[in-house]
Structure formats: structure tokens, C-alpha cells
Amino acid sequence: MTKRALITGITGQDGAYLAQLLHGKGYELFGLVARRGTESLWRLRELGVEQAVSLIQGDLTDLSSLFRAVETAQPTEVYNLGAQSFVGASWAQPAVTAQVNSIGVVNILEAVRRSRPETRFYQASSSEMFGLVRNDAQDESTPFYPRSPYGVSKLAGHWFTVNYRESYGMHASSGILFNHESPLRGLEFVTRKVTDAVARIKLGKQSELRLGNIDAQRDWGFAGDYVEAMWLMLQQDKPDDYVIATGTTTTVREMCRIAFSHAGLNYENHVIVDPKLFRPADVDMLRGNAAKAQRVLGWRPKTEVTTLLRAMVDADMRRVGRERAA
């Protein structure tokens, strides 16, 4: 039987990598999109899977559109990757963040439960739920203490997923993913903001880069590795929750050093710390322990942070170079 996947957030970084992975495995693919603007499909196009996906118009905040999407796609697996995913914006738009990241999860769980309860369900949870961490490495038993409206909203989505699994016996799993990046990352996130700036500075289009808290530490992995973990979770007999991380933490400052030096630049000559870019409450340090994912799923990260950042700088050098030629 052909497997059929419905992916919310298909136009985002993870949606594109997941679509590429599932296409390679022979899945029939359906993607929920809020608007059918051609621009937003650039990631699917870049990975060569644009034509492989049937797009269904809908929105996580519109329950009726989700019923229609599930009825149209008849999915064997649903991956809920759709979100207001930028932590920084969640203070300016806390209610929208909660609508999409919390109520949106209830909506898609309800649509699946009532239309196709046998469908396997993946929820994109986040290491931001750990927030104010007190231990050296976070795993599935670490207490949550979110530090942003985003973190709070994701925690509600996470618990709704656990609750639907326990209440209705749904095959619903939650991946607690630590930061994961790629050349397809949005420019609002710090890694891509840095690698794009490196390319622009190197090519003479920009001279400085303004950043906020450069002492923050994150556990950065490659998105392409992380979507494999999502898929593996839904192939298990039993649904469960898993931390997905590399176990290595790097400061934003060190990340800048690696990215700038790859282009032969010294970050200290270009990076300016701007207090206006500090968050009202930040997460100072995240480092995941993915031992359970390794033991149960056989998953482990393949890409370390320096390789990842260099690939992102290279991709941005090509992109910015093309802009210049155009």
C-alpha cells in the first residue's frame, strides 16, 4: 500500500526536507498551505520536490479546512510542522503564536481523530519548552520552564499531543527538536542571519552585522538529519516522545567566528552587539541528550556544526553572488 503523508508547514525548512525524504521513499505527498503564493514554494523547488507535492489550501486555525485536508489526502501519516516558529516575534504577537502553535495542534488532532483516527501523527515540539534549564543536558525527563510566548505555546501543543495519545490511543508522537539549521533556513534565525551577512560583507554589499545576545548557547544540528528522526518516530509500533539533538553546544559568538573565518573574515571587525535585539527573556543555554532516540530509533546526527555553518556560508555566497550578477 502506498503511504500518504499530509505535511503542515510544507513550505518551511523542515517541510521541504521532509518532503524530499518521503518522496525518496515513495510516499504520496500532500502539503497544507495557507496561501498559494508561488514565492513560498522556493524551498520545495530548490530540493526538486515541488512537482511531487499536492497542495491543499488550509490553515491550522481553521478547523473546517483541516477536516477537508484530511478527507482529501486520506493520509496514513500527518506531520504537523506548521507554526509561528520565530521565538523573537512571539512577544509582539503572543495571541497569534498561541492560536497557531497551541489551538492549531488541537485542531489538527481533532481533524485526525474524528476523520481518520488510525493515522499516525507527528508533532513538532521544541527545545524552547525547556527554557530556563538547570541541568547540563536536557532529555525527555527534564522539567519544562518556557521563557517566551513561543515556548509556552509549544508546550501546550506538546501536552495536547501527549493527552490525545493517552485519551484516545492515537499513534501521536512528539519530537522535541533542538535548533536545526540549513541553507534553507529563514533569514530571521541567527545562523542564517550570520551566514547571509558573511556573504554580503565578503562581496562588499554590507560592512556590519547587528546581533543581540551573542553569549547564548545552542545545540545546532542539520535539518536534513532531523527530519529522518521525525519519520522514524512514526515507523515505531508505539508512539512516544523523543529529544533530537547533537549533544554539542556552541555560543552565538563562536558560531560567528566559525562562519566569518570560513570566508577569511574576522567577526570582531564586523559584529556589533545591539541591546535593542536582546529578547525580554532569553534561553541562555540548550544542550540535548538524544540517547533515547539513538537507542530506540537508531537515530544519530550525521552533521556537526562547523560543517553545517560552512555549507550555509557557501550557499549564501552563491546566492548573493547571483544577486550581484543579476
Identify which of residues 75 and 149 has a Cβ nearer to ligand G4F in the complex.
149
Contact between residue 120 and residue 239 where contact means Cβ atoms under 8 Å apart? yes
Q: From CA 59, how far away is CA 239, in angstroms rounded?
A: 25
- Residues numbered 235-264 forming contacts with ligand G4F, rule: CB under 6 A: 252
State which of residues 139, 140, 254, 282 lies at the interface with ligand G4F (CB under 6 A). 282
State which of residues 164, 178, 260, 299 lies at the interface with ligand G4F (CB under 6 A). 178
Q: Catalogue the active-site residues.
A: 126, 128, 150
State which of residues 88, 263, 296, 314 lies at the interface with ligand G4F (CB under 6 A). 88
**All three cell numbers of 75:** 493520509
Verify binding: residue 16, ligand G4F, rule CB under 6 A.
Answer: no
Q: From CA 114, how far away is CA 20, in angstroms rounded?
A: 29
Verify binding: residue 277, ligand G4F, rule CB under 6 A.
Answer: yes
Q: What angle do CA 100, 101, 107 make, to 5 degrees?
A: 65
Per-residue string for binding with ligand G4F, 187-206, x by CB under 6 A?
A: -xxx--x-------------
Contact between residue 303 and residue 221 where contact means Cβ atoms under 8 Å apart? yes
Per-residue string for binding with ligand G4F, 48-87, x by CB under 6 A?
A: -------------------------------------x-x
C-beta atoms surrounding 204 within 10 Å? 8
Q: Which stretch binds ligand G4F (CB under 6 A): 21-29, 36-44, 110-118, 275-283?
A: 275-283
Q: From CA 29, how far away is CA 31, in angstroms rounded?
A: 7
Verify binding: residue 218, ligand G4F, rule CB under 6 A.
Answer: yes
Extended strands (E) in the chain: 4-8, 28-33, 53-57, 77-80, 120-126, 172-177, 180-181, 209-211, 217-218, 221-222, 241-244, 250-251, 271-273
Identify which of residues 76 and 101 has a Cβ nearer to ligand G4F in the complex.
101
Query: Residues touching ligand G4F: how many (CB under 6 A)?
Result: 24
Alpha helices in 169-269 (DSSP H): 190-202, 223-234, 252-262
Identify which of residues 60 and 216 has a Cβ nearer to ligand G4F in the complex.
216
Q: How far is the CB of 168 from ligand G4F (least distance, A)?
A: 26
Q: Taking Cα atoms as reference points, which of 24, 29, 25 lies closest to residue 11? A: 29
Where does this chain bind ligand G4F (CB under 6 A)?
Answer: 85, 87-88, 126-128, 178-179, 188-190, 193, 211-214, 216, 218, 252, 277, 279, 282-283, 286
